[in-house]
Amino acid sequence: MMESAHVEMIFDSIFTDFSTQLKGGAGEPFYQAGQGEGQPNLIYYREDYTASALHEVSHWCLAGRPRRKLDDFGFWYVAHRNGEQQRAFEQVEARPQALEWIFSIAAGLPFRVSVDNCRIVTSTQFKKQIQHAVAALRLRLPTRAGLMADALAEATGHTHFLNSQHFEQLPL
């Protein structure tokens, strides 16, 4: 089973040109854009949770250059959301969670849909959004996402991670 330290090593080995480091041990995930010339970007993931590392790397792989210059990629965060705020959260989160699912399969790990700290039950619509995003991403992974997925698959031997059998049913 792949652990978060291994994900960090893989990330650091393939993205050295991006001056970005993946670091565990945080109380909450956070992306800190480089604070000045020569300062690296830092992707903090929760505790030593491998799923959190994969999720935060997913956000980074999907963020364009302008967003990578902003703390937390310029996204808002509301810890205790109402139904409307949760739907807005799900709009932003479907694609990163879809990529996290792909990374999880490549790493030989289980994937679970996350509604974050929200107590609202995951909607069927959100699960469908994730499934549609997976279908689109499987057709063409963004460059950084493809590099990461390939490196995870090489490390675990899960080289057929994009096979449809892995994505027939979304885990809860």
Please write the tens of the pLDDT for every residue from 83-126. Answer: 888 888 888 899 999 999 999 999 999 999 886 655 555 678 88
- Has residue 70 got a pLDDT over 90? yes
CA neighbor of 29 nearest in space, from 7, 59, 63, 61: 59
| One-letter amino acid of 142 | P
Q: Give the count of alpha carbons within 13 A of 126, CB side only.
A: 24
Rounded to whole angstroms, the Cα distance separating 42 from 57 reads 11
What is the per-residue pLDDT across 125-166, written as a single tens digit (0 to 9) for each?
888 899 999 999 999 999 999 999 999 999 999 988 888 777
SS3 25: strand
CA neighbor of 8 nearest in space, from 104, 141, 148: 148
